[in-house]
Amino acid sequence: MDKIFDLISQEDKYQQEAIRLIPSENFISEEVKKVLGSNLSNKYAEGYPGRRYYQGNKYIDEIENLAIERGKKLFRVEHMNVQAYSGSPANLAVLLALLKPGDKICGMRLADGGHLTHGHPGITFSGKYFESIQYGVNQEGVIDYEAVAEMVNKEKPKLIFCGGSAYPWKINWQRFSEIASSVNAYLIADIAHIAGLIAGGVHESPVNYVDIITSTTHKTLRGPRGAFIGVTKRGIKTAEMKGDGELNKKIDKAVFPGLQGGPHMNAIAAMAVAFGEASRPEFKKYAQAVVENAQVLAETLKAAGIRVFGTENHLMLVDCGVGRGKEMAVKLENEGIIVNANMIPRDQGSPMKPSGIRVGSPAMTTKGWGKKEFEEVGKRIAKVINS
């Protein structure tokens, strides 16, 4: 037997035995897993349903259309592209569709909970090929919306990102909408982390306030490693008002042929399955449990005297002391508890030696954990940090 199968078996055992608290990780269903490993990996399907560059895709067209329609219904958008390979390419496609190199964009600083693709300077495509201005958070780790409004009014970016990868609070979509409208900027909601919470009805959807939503399909949504781009009614009107043409077509052209060739049809079919699963009543119960379990974990850590940023969603940032985040993540891994080192608001450490860890509840909630188990693991985490 090829050694790779032995390694996969070991990884499977490790995943089942470890306590997985990284907020971006989850467990897919057996149905999603089955589709990912199906014969759809054999297909090449450049183009879009009804407009392929390859013959032999009549069933593939039906599969992609099913994923699109389920996704549109779940997230209440007017148009959806499901071909982007992951979240970063999805955000790049939006920038390619709407802007020219050198245009000004605005997003949350990575160190304050944002994402690399939201304009992180110097090393990312969004920071290198566009002029980037960045907003941050206050001492409590919450977005200062008035400071954002003041900066946007002064700098007048053409596009604003809201959403992040380590932001433990609910986002005020309406306030961001008002800020973007004040300078006639496109507003993009990156909901990669909270897509499942939105689908489950425990977080307000941004669909009425933004022009485009982007998201991965794993994390809280419990789907495959893929992404989608959704265009809202507001987005269509904004593009028309700006004279930018048909936004739906611009997005599709940016994904293909703008950035990539053939779509990963096994992942797209798995998205269709995940969208269907997220539409069921039991998923709403899951999403509610994710939030409740995270809150129990946060309160347990606070009761042990540990500073915690959050939580109103599935994750929190935990202050481990200046520069101790990586050390604590390693110690917790040795205890069978998997988290990731992360910077905290106003961190006095550095990216390589941050002061915090990022902790979340989605994966273990999927495994059936409840409040009691999260309280117990919170005490174990606190013991390691306080030792």
CATH number of the CATH domain containing 340? 3.90.1150.10
> For the segment 147-180, what is each residue's pLDDT rounded down to a tens digit?
999 999 999 999 999 999 999 999 999 999 999 9
Residue 97: inside a domain:
yes
Verify that 174 and 49 share a domain, yes or no.
yes
Based on the residue annotation, tell me whether 48 is a catalytic residue of this protein.
no
Residue 223: inside a domain:
yes
**Of 25, 33, 44, 379, catalytic:** 44
Number of domains in the chain: 2
> For the segment 39-87, what is each residue's pLDDT rounded down to a tens digit?
999 999 999 999 999 999 999 999 999 999 999 999 999 999 999 999 9
* Inter-residue contact 234 to 209 (CB < 8 Å): yes
The rounded percent of the chain whose pLDDT value lies above 90 is: 97
Q: In what order do the strands lie in the sheet with 308-309?
A: 308-309, 315-319, 356-360, 340-342
Verify that 198 and 97 share a domain, yes or no.
yes
Distance CA 314, CA 287 (A): 9
Better-predicted residue by pLDDT, 241 or 204: 204
Verify that 52 and 133 share a domain, yes or no.
yes
Does residue 217 have a pLDDT over 70? Answer: yes
**Of 46, 131, 327, 375, catalytic:** 46
The pLDDT of residue 244: 85
**Of 20, 219, 250, 326, catalytic:** 219
* Domain stops at, among 255, 278, 301: 278
**Of 216, 217, 238, 311, catalytic:** 216
The pLDDT of residue 257: 97
Verify that 183 and 86 share a domain, yes or no.
yes
* Domain stops at, among 239, 261, 278: 278
Residue 12: inside a domain:
no
Verify that 134 and 274 share a domain, yes or no.
yes
Verify that 315 and 235 share a domain, yes or no.
no
Verify that 195 and 63 share a domain, yes or no.
yes
Based on the residue annotation, tell me whether 225 is a catalytic residue of this protein.
yes
- Quote the Cα angle for 95-205-193, to 5°: 65
Burial profile 175-208: b = 16 or more Cβ within 10 angstroms, e = fewer: bbbebbeebebbbbbbbbbbbbbbbbebbbbbbe
Q: What is the pTM of this model?
A: 0.96
Verify that 207 and 195 share a domain, yes or no.
yes
Verify that 320 and 225 share a domain, yes or no.
no
**Pick from 21, 1, 3: nearest CA to 300:** 21
Does residue 272 have a pLDDT over 80? Answer: yes
Distance CA 128, CA 123 (A): 7
CATH number of the CATH domain containing 248? 3.40.640.10
* Inter-residue contact 108 to 135 (CB < 8 Å): yes
Residue ranges making up the domain that contains 314 = 281-386
**Of 20, 124, 135, 190, catalytic:** 190
pLDDT band at 138 (very low <50, low <70, confident <90, very high): very high
Distance CA 128, CA 163 (A): 20
* Domain stops at, among 220, 243, 278: 278
Provide the residue type at 359 as one letter: V
Q: Is the dihedral of CA 226, 36, 362, 77 positive or negative?
A: positive
> For the segment 188-209, what is each residue's pLDDT rounded down to a tens digit?
999 999 999 999 999 999 999 9
Helices marked H in the chain — which ranges? 3-17, 30-36, 58-75, 87-98, 125-128, 145-155, 173-182, 195-199, 233-242, 247-255, 265-278, 281-303, 325-334, 362-366, 371-386
Verify that 233 and 300 share a domain, yes or no.
no
Mean per-residue pLDDT of the chain: 97
**Of 33, 225, 233, 302, catalytic:** 225
Based on the residue annotation, tell me whether 46 is a catalytic residue of this protein.
yes
**Pick from 316, 331, 90: nearest CA to 215:** 90
> For the segment 4-35, what is each residue's pLDDT rounded down to a tens digit?
999 999 999 999 999 999 999 999 999 999 99
Strand partners, 308: 318
Residue 10: inside a domain:
no
